[in-house]
Structure 1
């Protein structure tokens, strides 16, 4: 298995630990791939939307020296302790010695209750596709609109989620991908969209899309998911692992979007005619 890209930061972490605390493919490689496109300055305020256990939140705080507010409203359904996802985030922040730079908040989109323009940047992976699948496209777009609202003008959102290629679903896979609801593999046909559909959703809520594509290592990330994620490790011949391997990148992929909240345009007033013998042109009174 050979990666097209190198992951200098993510490669320092044990993939078994990473996938125990990350949902979806890519783990910390996704986080590094996206974060490198955000040009994160030290001390910047970053909103992480849908943290799960928050391992990516902690990675971003540790490796990029940013202040992360991580939001997630849910309990991890696979956790025997029944802990909130943000409680896992707090534990991981302490374990990785970034608890002074990470703030876990039990909240979700589109009702975050943050003030407008609260964050310098935002990050969101393997989260909103589940909302699309369970609550529909309108709710998905409402979540994007909320992220746009709480970003400062000029702020960037780094976004990634499982997507499908813009091709017809293979007939041998359709019985699995379309047989049910929810975030598990039988509901993926409803959860996942193509990259063009996704960027259209971004633009519809006011974002400017700077970069968007299928990740070059998408297939590698799915292979790693099958190898390391606890469910597939426990049942390597189960339906999920077998279907992902059978897909082999024919339909299933992983897309990313780098989007910006536009800066407002400052309107300038009409120029005041220069008086005879007067000085420089001046803007109309009361206008900048």
Structure 2
């Protein structure tokens, strides 16, 4: 499929960033969102995830792969939670400036941390939130048991939003999505794959999961329009955003090794 050329103005793009389906996100300056974008409209995604999570003032939240900390700022402002904004590639100093500019410096703390060497105590977090990053580092069979689960309190939640196909495929990439499919896109998995990835450890139980309540394909296409991506990889009925919440079971990973 040949990419079509569109003459969207900047103002038209800004209007598309405000979506009545996500009223909390609509309160934020679209210029700020666009300036700090990293691959998605992260506020839509975190707002959708928040609808199926338990978030209360005073809770400690790990925002894994927070990027420019927009999701961390959102969670602090909207729910009064304390957020550790963890990222490997974005400078904590740069994130701190954004955090202070938004007036949540008492609730959001920027951390430089690599996903396999996180600087937190066991059972420290009430919940983990991960928006469009877990696929980059969390797909190994031992990642949850060796590097993540011990950080979450028993009965705490892990909230995940990831992009992926409606179901797993093997062999050649389907022609319907193959136009801009790069080799590293194989880390994008279906919702059922992610559920199994968590459940098979015995450390988590799935509490909820869907394609943003049926909105996952539309959100994909709307963001593609904003970014002027009109290839079939980003415009189809297969690829969509999914959200999932898993509860941390009470026993520890080491119980399996004794």
Instruction: Give TM class, smaller chain.
Output: 0.7 to 0.9
- Deviation readout 1:184-232 (Å, 9 max, x if unpaired): xxx32x120111111111112311111112222212322332244xxx3
> Which structure 2 residues correspond to residues 153-164 of structure 1 after superposition, within 5 A?
153-164=154-165
Q: Indicate the residue corresponding to 2:84 in structure 1.
A: 69
| Pairwise CA distance, 1:29 | 1.3
Q: Indicate the residue corresponding to 2:112 in structure 1.
A: 106
Unaligned runs of 5+ in 1: 76-83, 181-186, 266-288
Distance between the aligned counterparts of 1:153 and 1:164, measured in 2?
31
The match for 2:103 among 97, 100, 124 is 97
> Which structure 2 residues correspond to residues 125-144 of structure 1 after superposition, within 5 A?
125-131=131-137, 137-138=139-140, 141-143=142-144
Change (3 A) 1:10 1:247: closer
| Pairwise CA distance, 1:144 | 6.9
Change (3 A) 1:41 1:223: same
| Pairwise CA distance, 1:143 | 4.9
Change (3 A) 1:10 1:171: same
Unaligned runs of 5+ in 2: 1-15, 253-258
Q: How many residues align?
A: 231
Q: Indicate the residue corresponding to 2:241 in structure 1.
A: 254
Q: Indicate the residue corresponding to 1:196 in structure 2.
A: 192
Distance between the aligned counterparts of 1:128 and 1:176, measured in 2?
21
SS at match of 1:221: helix
**Which has the higher Rg, Structure 1 or Structure 2?**
1
The alignment's TM-score, normalised by the length of structure 2, stands at 0.80
- Deviation readout 1:249-281 (Å, 9 max, x if unpaired): 32211111101111359xxxxxxxxxxxxxxxx
Distance between the aligned counterparts of 1:23 and 1:144, measured in 2?
28
Q: RMSD over aligned Cα, in angstroms?
A: 2.5
The alignment's TM-score, normalised by the length of structure 1, stands at 0.72
- Runs (4 or more) in structure 1 with deviation over 4 Å come to none
Does the Cα contact within 8 Å between 1:48 and 1:123 map onto a contact in 2? yes
